[in-house]
Structure 1
Amino acid sequence: MGAMGDRTAVMLLMLLLSSWCLTAVTGYRGRGARGGGEEEEGGGSGRRFVLEESEEVVKAEGGEVRVVRGFGIGGRPAPMHIGFITMEPKTLFIPQYLDSSLILFVHRGEARIGWIYEDNMVERRLKMGDIIHIAAGSTFYMVNTGKGQRLQIICSIDTSESLGLGPYQSFFIGGGTYPSSVLAGFDIETLTAAFNVTTEEMDTILGARIRGPIIFYSDRAADQSRLLASCMQWKQLHKKGSLDFNDVADDEGGGEVQQEENKRWTLRNFLANLLGGQFYDRRKGKKQSPDHAPDAYNLYDRDPDFRNNHGWSIALDEGNYAPLGINDIGVYLVKLTAGSMMLPHVNPTATEYGIVLGGSAIIHLVYPNGTAAMKAEVSEGDVFMIPRYFPFCQIASLSGPFEFFGFTTSARRNRPQFLVGASSILRTMLGPELAAGFGVTEEELRKVVEAQKDAVIVASWTLPKIRGKGEDEPLLIRRMADV
């Protein structure tokens, strides 16, 4: 009985191990973006990689922040989450720092953002299409400066530095009763000694009734303060005789002239400080930022990396905008005309997170074993994820153009591998070895591979061949997505 019991125990253990191994190998197929169960019937017809659950992180009278959590594959944590910041006109997102780095993209509206960069306070004005990076631990604030316009920002939330207390953790510098400033955690004796103020003065600051993290705020007061400070500084320097009205020193003066100019408060420095922006250096032929902080990068001002009659695409990497390399995140923007398709391709370097900015489309995604992972329709506001190496394509609706923006998990130059089209790897590798891999002749394979004359983005409908005489099948326009 003892030996039989041992054999039974061993067999049960082997069965458990086999079951665990099978789950580990195929488990990602049963795990949806919503943490759901098995795939719906229809072979990948569900919305497994559409991230449909968002959580409200901030809710205030002046706006809100919602976060769509990413998810990892193979037991690894999600590399990023996607945030949506909405601010009403004349509002302020009060000063705070986060445990996560942000890449901000201005979807609609205009903003003024201030943050600490290399121990200095810097400000930038942002417009639609601008990208800017805010490092984890860097205190920042944001003001909606658009006249009567709601500000909408989409951002990546890097998880590599996160404390894991939520999608991200805010530490509010400003605040009062709600939210509380992190300063409120110190006892009053410590604070009064540190600030060198009275208890009453400290209570006035920390006891203010702030109605949430996003509050209504007039930008005029900030402009007046900035103007007054600049004028006072200008007046003081003018009294000392150190104000130089020469915009640019004569280049013939050599190094001594340059050193002397650096010591002076010039009119162009004054104007740059007054406007909170940049000045133009004629010697270098480009804009210079007095604070040396990175400027925003506007996606809509950039020429597309690829364009044809069916659409265009832009990919931004650390070579184009250095701050992307800090957290190893790339950015892309794609627009397809109505009924166009971005041909099946693979991203061998990164996972992609996409956000639909306008229109609707069908997204096809394929598992490594050649079965359909997802065929889902997405529309404005949807967030979807494309795992690294998984083949996929997007097909715009016939009702209008389809535009989507997104982030990738690599700041290196993206080199997508297209499986179909004039620039595809099938066209590049066309030969007897590839034909043998498909089990056909090279001529048969060539006929199929070279039939598509366009590259990257094509029309997703075709005109069927006209049949011979006596065959009166009507000439139909058929979408490839429906074939």
Structure 2
Amino acid sequence: MGNKTTLLLLLFVLCHGVATTTMAFHDDEGGDKKSPKSLFLMSNSTRVFKTDAGEMRVLKSHGGRIFYRHMHIGFISMEPKSLFVPQYLDSNLIIFIRRGEAKLGFIYDDELAERRLKTGDLYMIPSGSAFYLVNIGEGQRLHVICSIDPSTSLGLETFQSFYIGGGANSHSVLSGFEPAILETAFNESRTVVEEIFSKELDGPIMFVDDSHAPSLWTKFLQLKKDDKEQQLKKMMQDQEEDEEEKQTSRSWRKLLETVFGKVNEKIENKDTAGSPASYNLYDDKKADFKNAYGWSKALHGGEYPPLSEPDIGVLLVKLSAGSMLAPHVNPISDEYTIVLSGYGELHIGYPNGSRAMKTKIKQGDVFVVPRYFPFCQVASRDGPLEFFGFSTSARKNKPQFLAGAASLLRTLMGPELSAAFGVSEDTLRRAVDAQHEAVILPSAWAAPPENAGKLKMEEEPNAIRSFANDVVMDVF
């Protein structure tokens, strides 16, 4: 009886939450109901920058009180032997290596740390922490999906990069200081500091090998080791700095020394400076649920502590052909999801019981589902559907399933529930108990047909805009 009372209380809380969400949904636009497309689908990407060596696109989070927290989704594509120049952001950044190998260098506790990342690896970079990224895959593009947490941002743009070694505006953040300031800070002549900090650079992502046009960084790489070290000492030396400034200088020196090392040399994670290890979703994480129809993984802060700082969780789900992730509700977080492969359908319901949206989804599509909203995903009959995403809470996710062997309806079964549905308890029990599978269900009858990828959204006149044909989305 106690368990049933607790579940009824939980159901009441969920109903109250979705009712409040519904009111906010209508109030956000002065009483005008938003279209499903503008509410759930993240379809308008912004190109942050593009160079010959790579590019970055960002999907900006929707506004409005309906969402628990806002999050932007970024896509980074880098050519072989390219560098995402040293920088720091005003936002927390979680990177997921979709494809390729990378060397990540960053400042951790005032020391330089470096990590070798491979497909499936996750890493969290706190706001304000200097980092760089190098594509070390032999002849392979590097593709990265990232969450950008705007909770710490300046609020000027989607996010703000502060480039240390040049960037979108072809200048280092240090270029904003007068030559006299830089002369004093680096204890170097004006000629040298102007040569370093006023050069035209190649943008945020640049090549760092001999097969492309020389740049400031490639020219530096061509120097002999002793010449490199001497140049670095000139750049970073300041004999009159106090002890705190010396520590900072040493950190920056280590950052530059590592960047200017051989890009394609083997990285063994030897110099990690005590930094947290990366986490591989494919190798390190066991499925939280698995049956003949698919599996699901949800990574929380208790399993990977770095996620606790930005308070963000991660999910990865794979549905076999024709299967369905049962209708469910997330009571603690929004979900921002990217379709990695395959296609199928996304069904979302409004809190009042009406259908919010039924739409075809395919590789490259991005969508968000607010907490409390019931939804499910269905894989097409001719292939599996895999999707990856971020949730807006690092707490252990406990989705409430509304159908299947592990559903709330089974647990709540009794005269109170049958009365709410207006049927006898026996009738309701037979209907609820008919499904013997839990969480991921066999549903060939409900799966979209083989040409599902060509169909348009039922509730909207326009199809989801996919990035599958964009350069950055060849990650998929």
- TM-score range relative to shorter protein: 0.7 to 0.9
Structure 1: distance between partners of 2:84 and 2:71: 22
Structure 2: distance between partners of 1:177 and 1:197: 26
Structure 2: distance between partners of 1:177 and 1:430: 59
- The residue that corresponds to 2:118 in the other structure is 127
Secondary structure of 2:310's counterpart equals coil
- The residue that corresponds to 1:91 in the other structure is 82
Deviation, 1:277, is 3.7
Matched, 1:306 2:289: yes
Structure 1: distance between partners of 2:25 and 2:58: 23
* AA aligned opposite 1:429: L
Structure 2: distance between partners of 1:53 and 1:31: 20
**TM-score for the superposition, normalised by structure 2:** 0.75
**Uncovered stretches (5+) of structure 2, i.e. residues with no partner:** 1-20, 212-217, 230-264, 447-451, 459-476
Structure 1: distance between partners of 2:22 and 2:130: 43
What aligned pairs does 1:307-386 form with structure 2 within 5 A after superposition? Answer: 307-386=290-369
1:69/1:82 contact within 8 Å kept: yes
Among 275, 290, 294, the alignment partner of 1:293 is 275
* AA aligned opposite 1:208: K
Matched, 1:115 2:112: no
Structure 2: distance between partners of 1:420 and 1:205: 63
What aligned pairs does 1:227-246 form with structure 2 within 5 A after superposition? Answer: none
* AA aligned opposite 1:326: E
Matched, 1:406 2:403: no
* AA aligned opposite 1:293: S
- The residue that corresponds to 2:165 in the other structure is 174
Moved over 6 A (4+): 219-222
1:131/1:296 contact within 8 Å kept: yes
2:68/2:370 contact within 8 Å kept: no
Deviation, 1:182, is 1.0
Structure 2: distance between partners of 1:102 and 1:124: 16
* AA aligned opposite 1:330: G
Deviation, 1:319, is 1.1
- The residue that corresponds to 2:137 in the other structure is 146
TM-aligned CA distance change 1:372 to 1:93, over 3 Å: same
Among 192, 199, 213, the alignment partner of 1:201 is 192
- The residue that corresponds to 1:11 in the other structure is none
* AA aligned opposite 1:95: P
Deviation, 1:79, is 1.8
Among 431, 435, 457, the alignment partner of 2:440 is 457
Between 1:71-80 and 1:302-311, the stretch displaced more is: 71-80
Deviation, 1:378, is 1.2
Deviation, 1:218, is 3.2
What aligned pairs does 1:3-152 form with structure 2 within 5 A after superposition? Answer: 26=23, 28=25, 48-74=39-65, 79-152=70-143
TM-aligned CA distance change 1:200 to 1:186, over 3 Å: same
**TM-score for the superposition, normalised by structure 1:** 0.74
1:47/1:374 contact within 8 Å kept: no
2:171/2:199 contact within 8 Å kept: no
* AA aligned opposite 2:280: N
1:89/1:144 contact within 8 Å kept: yes
* AA aligned opposite 2:273: D
Structure 2: distance between partners of 1:202 and 1:458: 64
Deviation, 1:401, is 0.7
Identity %: 51
* AA aligned opposite 2:119: M
Higher relative contact order (CA 8 A, sep 6+): 2
Secondary structure of 1:300's counterpart equals coil
**Uncovered stretches (5+) of structure 1, i.e. residues with no partner:** 1-23, 233-273, 280-288, 464-478
Select the structure of larger CA radius of gyration. 1
Deviation, 1:208, is 2.4
Secondary structure of 1:215's counterpart equals strand
